[in-house]
Amino acid sequence: MNALRWFVGVLVFAAVVAAFSGGPDPGLTGAPGERTCTVCHSGRVNPDDRGRVRLEGVPGGYIPGERYILSLSVTHPDPDRRRWGFQLTALTSVENAPAGDFPVVEGNRGSADPIRTQREIGGPGGRRQYMSHTAESTSDLSRRGGDRWVIAWDAPSEDRGGVTFYAAGNAANGDRTPLGDKIFTAAFSISGVLRFIPEEAFAAPFVSPITAFAWEDFDGDEFPDLFIIGEGQYFLFRNDRGRLVDVTAASGIPRFGMGRAAAWGDYNGDGRLDLYVVNDGQDLLLRNEGMSGEAPVFREVAISAGIIEAASGRAAAWGDFDGDGWLDLYVVNDGQDVLYRNQGDGTFAAVDPHAAGLSENARGRAAAWRDFDGDGRLDLYVANEGPDFLYRNLGGGRFQNIAPSAGIRQDGISVAVAWFDFDRDGRADIFVVREGQDMLYRNRGDGTFEVVDPDVAGYTDEGTGGVLAVADFDGDGREDIFVAKAGAVFLFRNRGDGTFGRILGKPGVDVAPMSSPRGAAWVDVDRDGHVDLFVADGDGGHALYLGKIGG
């Protein structure tokens, strides 16, 4: 009899260990109608409240049919935890029905791992999909502190309302028994489908066409305000909780001028954003002197501040290149660009381009600062009608153009540039809008860049001119790319696996093309937590698309 009890106990023990190693039976996430992994794993501190399940890459709102790459991690602080497991399901928030699909994807550079994850069907009703660990993912007993799995999730092909992910994590002690293992659960919700809603009323106060614009919160109320350069005139609008109020006349800014671009920055360190306006002629430096009632007050101080900029300018970029805590200014011109060093007393001094290594000469279009090599000094990319410049900041006020040796293409015409970390490896990558096919440069981390093949990565586009805006528009933690060219618009959603999806034209996600795009910006106009898209057309049109979830 004792032998029989021992034999039955061994069978039960072996079954439990096999269940952990091969993956749990479906239906153990703690979702509505389900139990958790405590059905197999038991111990004095089970369930456990110190372990954590995290799910990254979940969007704020999903786009029907789009693939999202999720990262699920299980962690626990106890040093004796040596084996890790999980189970995950996705259900519609109202009906608790299966939401989307968990494909096991092979051969796509690790977006989902068919070796360490597996999919099962079952649970209440027998139709729910589950992703869970495999035997291979639990065999390494050297993992301390936690483990991580990469999972692909295809959103529902149509609007199914909100979606909730239910996850259970297991932190086992590695003694190959079910005793003392620690189970914990978590839920992660998506409110609904992401849509772009044209805001017709928003266009009412504007004069068309728009040459350029710049959004920023100049009055400190956390609502972004708007400066517009029209044909031969300037406009300033204060954002009154989502409603634009024309404060041009009361603000003190010049009403007329041949502006081309504008950039906000607090150059004098008083906590208020000032405005630099690039003109075809003498530029403007508008110092923000605070609010007077409901309107801001600006004073034009360019010449007294030492900025004598009478060239034909194209763009400007603020950045503290020398690390002294004061914003410096780089002005892009049709000829020789100019770097102005902020002297910290409200004035600027033009840096000798030959002494600084900035003497390259081209017809510039745009510039952007970023520390691409991680040395703590801001470097500079300049987009030109001709060879682009990549100036590495050597320190001591010196730069070196390393574009040719760094892998930056030296042919064609570039019109816009943005730094962003598209692959989330901690290194700044570059996106350049060009006449024809645009270029994405991946930072190798050794001072050089490689061109990411547009056909492979999915960011193919063509066209003349172009404007660029980069932001995480869907809230999944990855920066996306919007490009507008003459007659064509592109929104490339960063999937997180090294590829981009072209999503314009999908239900609820559309932007009208422009014949002569002059600007694009992601900005949360109404402060609802979702970025909106503002675009301007030199031929007279402009539009605001509100990012909304659900409804």
The CATH number covering residue 462 comes to: 2.130.10.10
338 and 421 housed in the same domain:
yes
CA angle 207, 209, 211 (to 5 degrees): 110
158 and 279 housed in the same domain:
no
Do residues 124 and 29 lie in contact, with contact meaning Cβ atoms separated by under 8 Å? Answer: no
Does 306 fall in a domain?
A: yes
122 and 247 housed in the same domain:
no
Q: Which two tokens stand for residue 288?
A: 């923000």
- Cα distances from 507 to residues 41, 159, 193, 449, in angstroms, run 45, 9, 10, 36
Do residues 118 and 131 lie in contact, with contact meaning Cβ atoms separated by under 8 Å? Answer: yes
Do residues 113 and 149 lie in contact, with contact meaning Cβ atoms separated by under 8 Å? Answer: yes
Does 534 fall in a domain?
A: no
Do residues 198 and 176 lie in contact, with contact meaning Cβ atoms separated by under 8 Å? Answer: no
d(CA 258, CA 251): 19
334 and 427 housed in the same domain:
yes
Longest dimension (CA), the chain: 101
The CATH number covering residue 43 comes to: 2.60.40.3880
CA-closest candidate to residue 330, choices 377, 361, 367: 367
CA-closest candidate to residue 188, choices 76, 77, 70, 75: 70
Domain-ending residue, one of 158, 192, 226: 192
248 and 381 housed in the same domain:
yes
188 and 319 housed in the same domain:
no
Q: What's the total number of domains in the chain? A: 2
Q: What is the pLDDT of residue 49?
A: 82
Q: What is the pLDDT of residue 137?
A: 81
Does 392 fall in a domain?
A: yes
188 and 276 housed in the same domain:
no
CA-closest candidate to residue 194, choices 533, 532, 550, 494: 550
Instruction: Tell me the pairing of strands 128-133 and 67-75.
Output: unpaired
Q: What is the pLDDT of residue 478?
A: 97
d(CA 410, CA 423): 24
Do residues 318 and 367 lie in contact, with contact meaning Cβ atoms separated by under 8 Å? Answer: no
Does 538 fall in a domain?
A: no
Q: What is the pLDDT of residue 202?
A: 67
Q: What is the pLDDT of residue 312?
A: 84
Q: Which two tokens stand for residue 215?
A: 């959004």
pLDDT (tens place) for every residue of the chain, 551 residues total:
444 343 333 333 333 444 444 567 888 899 999 988 777 776 544 567 889 999 999 999 999 999 999 999 999 999 989 889 999 999 999 899 999 999 876 643 334 577 888 999 999 999 999 999 988 888 777 788 999 999 999 999 999 999 999 999 999 887 777 778 889 999 999 999 999 999 876 654 566 689 999 999 999 999 999 999 998 899 999 999 888 999 999 999 999 999 999 999 999 999 999 999 999 889 999 999 999 999 999 999 999 999 997 778 999 999 999 999 999 999 999 889 999 999 999 999 999 999 999 999 899 999 999 999 999 999 999 999 989 999 999 999 999 999 999 999 989 999 999 999 999 999 999 999 999 999 999 999 999 999 999 999 999 998 898 999 999 999 999 999 999 999 999 999 999 989 999 999 888 899 999 999 999 999 999 999 999 999 998 887 788 999 999 86
274 and 381 housed in the same domain:
yes
375 and 307 housed in the same domain:
yes
Q: What is the pLDDT of residue 11?
A: 34
Does 450 fall in a domain?
A: yes
Nearest-10 Cα torsion for 176, 177, 180, 184:
80
Domain-ending residue, one of 152, 175, 192: 192
d(CA 132, CA 120): 8
40 and 173 housed in the same domain:
yes
Does 219 fall in a domain?
A: no
Q: Which positions ≥6 away from 285 have C-beta within 8 Å?
A: 267, 274, 275, 276, 277, 300, 301, 302, 305, 307
Does 224 fall in a domain?
A: no
Q: What is the pLDDT of residue 106?
A: 60
Instruction: Tell me the pairing of strands 146-154 and 67-75.
Output: antiparallel
Domain-ending residue, one of 192, 226, 252: 192
Range of the domain at 184: 14-192
396 and 507 housed in the same domain:
yes
Q: Which two tokens stand for residue 397?
A: 């006020």
Q: Where are the alpha helices (DSSP H) in 91-247?
A: 135-138
- The distance from CA 5 to its chain's CA centroid, rounded to whole angstroms, is 59
Does 551 fall in a domain?
A: no
CA atoms within 13 A on the CB side of 365: 23
248 and 187 housed in the same domain:
no
Do residues 387 and 440 lie in contact, with contact meaning Cβ atoms separated by under 8 Å? Answer: no
pTM: 0.92
Do residues 418 and 433 lie in contact, with contact meaning Cβ atoms separated by under 8 Å? Answer: no
Tell me the DSSP string of 186-226. EEEEE-SBEEEEE-GGGGTT--S-EEEEEEE-SSSSSSPEE
d(CA 493, CA 540): 28
